[in-house]
Amino acid sequence: MEYITVKRENAVACIEINRPPANALAQALLKEFAEALDQIENDAESRVVLIYGVGRFFSAGADIKEFVQLRESGSFDSLAVSGQKLFEKLEAFPKPVIAAIHGAALGGGLELAMACHIRLVAENAKLGLPELQLGLVPGFAGTQRLPRYVGPGKAFEMLWTSDPLTGTEAVQWGLANHAYKEEELLSKAKALAGKIAKKSPLALKASIELVNYAKTNEYEKGLQQESARFKELFGSEDGEEGIKAFIEKREPRFTGK
């Protein structure tokens, strides 16, 4: 695989995201990520999954230049649905999944992290959903998961302002479990993963299934509405303007069309 590397350290399967400069979640990367999950699920020796980014970021979000190509080709219809399915699979994965976040987890990067069972962060990391800055909404279940962690009020604030939380703030708001100095993050994450890996695989799988029972039918409806609105906004004039403004590094001029 070109962007995803899987390394097993004892009973911990480490998924490295490596797509410089920002580990943007292009379609090719997400396809490789899905293949990595299949590989780990079928590996009886891998009991815990640890996900982290190589370089400066965990993942700074979607590949906006790829968005332009998708708009021009008209092939964005299933973009949100496919991303939602992948991250739903991650949240229901039968082995514990830990995200170790440094640098930034923005947009799709944060949606990926929120689908993990545990999030550990660097104190100076940035976590946010800036999609409204593009005239869009999150499309990979961000609107459904974020309020579960930080509450509706804070979720609205983060969505409407596009302002990220620091790693330290993310812990205070319940979006992350623990914050560490960046140089300590990965070793702390591996230590936690190793501790969890000593538990019974059967009990770990059962606990994941049981906690996921808390997801309601309204959550499923929310996913359907999110993907529909994402598609609608992606095809709007405001969506086109937001993407164009981002690439041109200027303030977008939205008209409501």
SS3 category, 19? coil
Say whether 241 is catalytic: no
Distances (CA, A) of 151 to 139, 155, 217, 225: 19, 6, 19, 19
The residue count for the chain: 257
Say whether 66 is catalytic: no
Q: Catalytic pick from 111, 123, 169, 240?
A: 111
> 4 near 28, Cβ under 8 Å?
no
Give the separation between CA 117 and CA 193, rounded to whole angstroms: 12
Within 54-188, strands assigned E span 97-101, 104-106, 118-122, 126-128, 165-166, 178-180
Q: Catalytic pick from 131, 169, 226, 240?
A: 131
Which residues does the annotation mark as catalytic?
Answer: 111, 131
